Amino acid sequence: MIGHRQLTMEDYSAILRRHKRTLILLAILGPAVGYLVCLALPKEYTSQTVILVEQPAVSPSYVTDISTGDLKQRLTTLQEQILSRSRLESIINKFGLYPQERRQQVSMEGLVDRLRKKIAVSPVKPMAESNSTQLPGFIIKVSDRDPALAQKMCNEVASVFLAENQRVRHDQSAGTTVFLSKQLEDAKAKLDDQDAKLAAFKSRYTGTLPDEQQANLSLLAGLNTQLDAATQALGRAQQDKAFTESMLAQQLSSQSADNPSAQKQLTEMQSELSALLAKYTDDHPDVIRLRQSISDLKQKMASSQGAATTGTTTAGVETPEIQQLRGQVHQYDATIKEKTAQQRDVQRQIALYQSRLQISPNVEEQYKVLTRDHETAANFYNDLLKKRSESAMFTDMNHQAESAEFRVLDSANLPVGPSFPNPLYFSLGGLAAGLALGLGITLLSELRDKTLRTEEDVEFFLQLPTLANIPSVEGARRHAAAGKGSTDGPRLVASA
């Protein structure tokens, strides 16, 4: 009467007692059947090998690993590549797997899928006390009905893993080197262009560059000092010349007694010239005009003296004092000419350096832009050169045996016992299946049973109180046989 009222623990105990034979029988038969099924199934043998992930033999401070991606991700990619159709098909052909299926024209896709299910790759879990997140290694397992063949295939898969990892690392480093070489060529072309621009700019603005500004200031200060010295020397020479010319005029006046007015006019004009030279330079119009007048007056006085002189005195004969004075005048003229040229040269240089200092801010701004672009190009080129060298070094290191990242810790073992089916697992599975079947039979039997067994059943279904319970004859016989009373059998129940 299950399902019509809420059952108690006593009800469940009674149900188990009523069906304990069935449960025990199925609990015994289940493991036996499971074990027999285990013996009947074909045996599968599993060979495994452990591959460790080693740290680089060369310190990363010397050779940088340029491999891309996380190791776990790369391992997943390698697993997909190795378990691809082409790789597994080559293994099938190499070891002659599935000869009967191939004779029966079974598709290669189906055979590849069957072989793929027999290969398992699982990572090695790091130690519990280790805080490292790096993958310590992985395990390769291959199953087959032939243990020797399973061992051979496991070694083959492991060798393919090692070779494929080495190839991927080499291709990555070689591809990186080629890419960096191309980028390095472009960077070098840009750097050469910046070098040419910077050299042309320096050639064009020589003397006005920012690092030459201080030198220009120093040279300008020195030129100003030279200009002051040349100006002072020119002034002294002009004054000395004017004084000598006045002395010469006095000597000439002593020989020109017949023309005192001309001598007086000459003296006045020379005095006026001295005053003008103290104020102006030789290029001043008044100075030029006055000198021309003095020259004309001297020629007139010389001609008049030549016409009036008789006896031993002639126009071409002068006293030694006059000749000395004339020589001093010529010397002062040469000095004035030299200092004037020096003054003009210094002034020209001063103007040149002043113009350089004036355009220096604009040149400095352009120079900063060029040097910044050149420095950026140079840094980019040097960075690429360093990376290309590291990539080439890593590529060379990959060709060496000691650079292997994966190392086989244990070669594939020869299985001594089958990995499938496992008798223990099948026995436990049979036990669980027998108990489940027994409980199902018990539940179905109780659902179909309409017997009223307890007072609670009578009160629940008849809605009447129970006056007395009369054990059934079958129950009494069982009680007599067992030596104890039982209430599990049918009863005659009297009710009011």
Give the pLDDT confidence of 155-175 residue by residue, as tens digits.
999 888 888 888 877 787 788
* pLDDT value of position 8: 78
Cα–Cα distance measured from residue 182 to residue 195, given in angstroms and rounded to the nearest whole number = 20
Cβ atoms 494, 468 nearer than 8 A: yes
The DSSP element (H or E) to which 474 belongs, if any, is: helix 473-482
* pLDDT value of position 378: 92
Q: In sequence order, what are the residues at sequence separation of 6 or more whose Cβ sits closer than 8 angstroms to the Cβ of residue 140?
A: 48, 49, 51, 119, 120, 121, 154, 157, 158, 161, 412
Instruction: Find, among 18, 28, 11, the residue nearest to 437 by Cα.
Output: 28
* pLDDT value of position 405: 66
- pLDDT tens string 121-167: 888 876 655 555 566 788 899 999 899 999 999 999 988 888 888 88
Instruction: Find, among 354, 410, 405, 364, the residue nearest to 162 by Cα.
Output: 405
Structural domains in the chain?
1-41+421-449 (no CATH), 45-182+400-410 (3.30.1890), 211-308+316-386 (1.10.287), 451-496 (no CATH)
pLDDT at 2 over 80: no
| Helix intervals (H) in 104-146 | 108-117
- Tell me the percentage of the chain whose pLDDT exceeds 70: 77
pLDDT at 308 over 80: no
Distances (CA, A) of 468 to 322, 453, 471: 184, 13, 10
- pLDDT tens string 446-493: 878 777 667 776 667 676 776 766 666 555 565 566 554 444 444 444
* pLDDT value of position 25: 92
3-class DSSP assignment, residue 50: strand
Q: In sequence order, what are the residues at sequence separation of 6 or more whose Cβ sits closer than 8 angstroms to the Cβ of residue 213?
A: 357, 360, 364
- 43 versus 486: which is more confidently predicted? 43
Cα–Cα distance measured from residue 17 to residue 446, given in angstroms and rounded to the nearest whole number = 12
- 393 versus 256: which is more confidently predicted? 393
The mean-pLDDT minimum among 156-170, 341-355, 394-408 falls in 394-408
Q: How confident is the model at residue 178 (pLDDT cuts 50, 70, 90)?
A: confident
Cα–Cα distance measured from residue 288 to residue 85, given in angstroms and rounded to the nearest whole number = 111
Handedness of CA 297, 302, 306, 311 (dihedral sign): positive
* pLDDT value of position 313: 40
Overall average pLDDT of the 173-179 stretch: 82
Cα–Cα distance measured from residue 122 to residue 76, given in angstroms and rounded to the nearest whole number = 10
DSSP string over 167-229:
HHHHHHHHHHHHHHHHHHHHHHHHHHHHHHHHHHHHHHTTT-SGGGHHHHHHHHHHHHHHHHH
- pLDDT tens string 73-99: 777 787 888 888 888 899 989 898 888
Distances (CA, A) of 99 to 92, 105, 109: 10, 10, 15
pLDDT at 333 over 60: yes
- 62 versus 152: which is more confidently predicted? 152
Eight-class DSSP state of 311:
T
Task: Report residue 7 as tokens.
Answer: 């059952």
The mean-pLDDT minimum among 340-344, 406-410, 481-485 falls in 481-485
First to last CA, the chain: 23
> Residue 183 class from Cβ within 10 Å (0-12 exposed, 13-18 middle, 19+ buried)?
middle
DSSP string over 337-388:
HHHHHHHHHHHHHHHHHHHHHHHHHHHHHHHHHHHHHHHHHHHHHHHHHHHH
Mean of the per-residue pLDDT values of the chain? 78
pLDDT at 352 over 50: yes
* pLDDT value of position 155: 92
Q: ∠ CA(184), CA(188), CA(189), 5° rounding?
A: 120
* pLDDT value of position 40: 84
* pLDDT value of position 365: 87
Amino acid identity for residue 130 in this structure: S
- Tell me the percentage of the chain whose pLDDT exceeds 90: 10
Instruction: Find, among 45, 42, 28, 34, the residue nearest to 424 by Cα.
Output: 34
The mean-pLDDT minimum among 18-27, 68-77, 133-142, 362-371 falls in 68-77
Task: Report residue 132 as tokens.
Answer: 């490292």
- 36 versus 456: which is more confidently predicted? 36
Overall average pLDDT of the 257-277 stretch: 72
pLDDT at 423 over 80: yes
- 359 versus 344: which is more confidently predicted? 344
Overall average pLDDT of the 415-440 stretch: 88
Distances (CA, A) of 180 to 60, 168, 175, 316, 375: 20, 18, 8, 95, 20
Cβ atoms 187, 380 nearer than 8 A: yes
* Count of residues in the chain: 496
